């Protein structure tokens, strides 16, 4: 089969022929229909320090956001059949550690990630553990199926607190940020402040629902504007998705007393926060968010997408073939896009 492979620690990838994966007793083999580019794939393409820090596999087939048709089922697998369409939960839980046994598989002590620690899905076929296969409704377009995974991160973040009637700040308008803005709008947020340095993505953000205020911190003092518009009180909810230190600091500055902040973006450097004034005296509620809750986030994502009220399809802006996976990754890295899809099958 054809697959996009990371063959060494040098920058770049190669699309080449590799063997079709052989599945185990607990696995399924999926004929990949659509895949999507994530920031993780950009890290792997460049092979930066993050890859070494997480002990990423090398060489390997990359890619982890995808959906496709089940074509082979392991002998011990139940509840999945050939011909069914599935999306992939990319966190692979061990199933036996303390966290797995107490309902927190998504932060498993022995967790591995598809396309990071195991061969991934920028390929004609992908092998995943059956526990990670989410059965899709027959009405779901494969492109939408491929972005359930990142959409679910936004679902997870906003599940932590009430959004209806609240003021919300979303820092970072990449695809997950756009999904989160759409979800906040669908949830009845009063006002949503969308912050990003990229005008293209800010423009996309304004299409994600109602009462969205775009702010570019390069030409507007975001903290001053938000505090002024909230009469100095601040906002009820902050979702930090940029992984940028200044954005995270702004999030704590504009958070109202008793407000909730969800930290999702991954930072390259330590972040210094005024804990006395912006956490302790505010009685701020802080949530760390990683991935999707297995499988609460998936059920919620299903309901939201099937409701036909989401704007997830509008986040998809670019499409490439498997042969052009490198172009797809470079397009995503440039940032003047929404979600980038790779059409495989």
Q: Which entry of 40, 90, 180, 191 is annotated as an active-site residue?
A: 40
pLDDT of 112 reads 97
Judged against a pLDDT cut of 90, whether residue 268 lies above it is answered with no
Judged against a pLDDT cut of 90, whether residue 42 lies above it is answered with yes
Enumerate domains of the chain plus CATH numbers: 2-151+292-343 (3.90.180.10), 161-288 (3.40.50.720)
40 is catalytic: yes
Mean pLDDT of the chain: 97
The encoded tokens of residue 204 equal: 């996309």
43 is catalytic: yes
The model's pTM: 0.95
Residue 287 Rama label (left phi>0; alpha psi -120 to 50; beta): beta
- Residues 320 and 328: beta-carbon distance below 8 Å: yes
149 alpha-carbon distance from chain centroid: 6
pLDDT of 103 reads 94
pLDDT of 308 reads 78
pLDDT band at 269 (very low <50, low <70, confident <90, very high): confident
Q: Per DSSP, what are the bridge partners of residue 261?
A: 238, 286
In eight-state DSSP terms, residue 277 is: I
Mean pLDDT value of segment 245-260: 97
Mean pLDDT value of segment 225-241: 98
**What gap in Å lies between CA 166 and CA 189, rounded to an integer?**
5
Percent of the chain residues past pLDDT 90, beyond the cut: 97
Q: Per DSSP, what are the bridge partners of residue 35?
A: 66, 342
Widest CA span in the chain: 62
pLDDT band at 204 (very low <50, low <70, confident <90, very high): very high
Mean pLDDT value of segment 159-182: 98
pLDDT of 106 reads 96
């Amino acid at each position: 089969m054809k697959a996009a492979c990371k063959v060494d620690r040098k920058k770049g990838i190669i699309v080449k022929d590799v063997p079709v994966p052989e599945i185990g007793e607990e696995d399924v083999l999926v004929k990949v229909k659509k895949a999507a580019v994530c920031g993780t794939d950009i890290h792997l393409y460049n092979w930066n320090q993050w890859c070494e820090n997480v002990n990423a596999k090398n060489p390997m087939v990359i890619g982890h956001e995808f959906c496709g048709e089940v074509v082979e089922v392991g002998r011990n697998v139940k509840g999945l059949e050939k011909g069914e369409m599935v999306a992939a939960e990319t966190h692979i839980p061990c199933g036996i550690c303390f966290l797995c046994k107490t309902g927190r598989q998504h932060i498993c002590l022995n967790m591995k990630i598809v396309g990071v620690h195991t061969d991934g899905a920028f390929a004609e076929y992908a092998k995943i553990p059956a526990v990670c296969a989410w059965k899709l409704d027959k009405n779901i377009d494969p492109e939408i199926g491929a972005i359930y995974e990142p959409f679910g991160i936004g679902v997870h973040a906003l599940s932590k607190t009430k959004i209806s009637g609240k003021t919300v700040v979303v820092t970072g308008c990449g695809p997950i940020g756009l999904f989160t803005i759409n979800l906040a709008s669908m949830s009845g947020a009063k006002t949503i402040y969308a912050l990003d340095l990229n005008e293209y993505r800010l423009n996309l953000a304004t299409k994600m629902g109602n009462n969205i205020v775009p702010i570019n911190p390069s030409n507007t003092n975001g903290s001053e504007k938000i505090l002024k518009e909230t009469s100095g009180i601040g906002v009820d909810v902050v979702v930090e998705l940029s992984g940028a230190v200044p954005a995270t600091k702004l999030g704590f500055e504009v958070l109202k007393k008793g407000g909730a902040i969800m930290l999702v973006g991954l930072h390259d450097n330590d972040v210094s926060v005024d804990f006395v004034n912006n956490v302790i005296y505010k009685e701020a509620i802080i949530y760390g968010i990683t991935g999707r809750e297995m499988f609460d986030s998936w059920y919620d994502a299903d309901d939201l997408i099937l409701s036909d009220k989401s704007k997830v399809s509008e986040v998809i802006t670019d499409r490439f073939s498997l042969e052009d996976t490198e172009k797809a990754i470079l397009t995503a890295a440039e940032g003047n896009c929404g979600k980038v899809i790779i059409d495989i099958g």
